[in-house]
Amino acid sequence: MTREPTGPAQEEKLSPEMAMEKPELYVEKLLSTLESKSQLIHSLWQYLVENDLVDKEIQLDGTTDVSRSTDHGIVMGTAPLSAERKKLMFEEENFADYLTEKAYILSHEISHKIAALIGSSETIEKFNNLYTSAIYFRKRGRGLSLHANQASYLEKGPEEQAKEDIVELVNMYLWDKEYLQRFLAFLSNPALKEARKKFKLCNLSEGSASNLFTVISESIEEFLKEKKIYGD
């Protein structure tokens, strides 16, 4: 009896089921995807681990789609994002697949750690001034990110929303500088004023948007230079 030839085994895809059945493989694939999407954010993850600034063991929670950054770790919610939360991702069509969605969320949680480190640096005062501006906007019902418009942050008040705004701007830059530029172009395009009103986003002038990008860019690049971190 001749045995039928079989093709190569199909690679297992990242899924909520994998998170439950093979958590180590899930984290391995998640970090591998993160590196393929942004070598820079992956390098920052390695920096955090090597300097004992974050636990290298990422915790998984299959009961929720909400991820969070703890004092010394990261907890990933492995359930797919709800439709409501997915709409709060700028250019959500670029995150249609589960793998990219979760890699971006992990990038955001890593950015929490990086933003905190940048904010604690005495040499990057302009970054903390940006936080002050973000609070000012939030107290007036507008924000600098879609991410911080989630109901859970609305309940926590403008200071917490402003912190999430800044973290998400840092995340956008680390994920892809052009991604942040496109978002700031959205905030400063006069023709999109009604769209911004719908999502409770700030109206920026082109000059303000350019200045915001410069502050984020220079703050991050100064940090990378200081810590001798290299990515893309």
Rounded-to-integer distance, Cα 46 and Cα 53, Å: 10
Taking alpha carbons only, the member of 50, 180, 185, 157 closest to residue 107 is: 180
Of 124, 128, 133, whose CA–CA distance to 220 is shortest?
124
The pairing of strands 74-77 and 59-61 is: parallel
Q: Which residues of the chain have pLDDT under 50?
A: 1-9
Q: What is the pLDDT of residue 3?
A: 45
pLDDT value at residue 232: 56
The phi, psi pair for 36, rounded to 5°, reads -70, -30
Q: What is the pLDDT of residues 135-181, one digit of tens each?
A: 999 999 999 999 999 888 888 999 999 999 999 999 999 999 999 99
Length of the chain: 232
CA distance 159 to 153: 9
Q: How many CB atoms lie within 10 A of CB 179?
A: 18
State residue 7's pLDDT score: 46
Q: Find, among 167, 171, 149, the residue nearest to 158 by Cα.
A: 149
Backbone conformation region of residue 134, classed left if phi is above 0, alpha if psi is from -120 to 50, else beta: alpha
Q: What is the pLDDT of residue 155?
A: 86
- Provide the CB-side half-sphere exposure for 194 (13 A, CA): 1
Cα 145 to Cα 173: distance, rounded to the nearest angstrom: 13
Rounded to whole angstroms, the Cα distance separating 143 from 140 reads: 9
Q: How far apart are CA 106 and CA 78, in angstroms?
A: 11
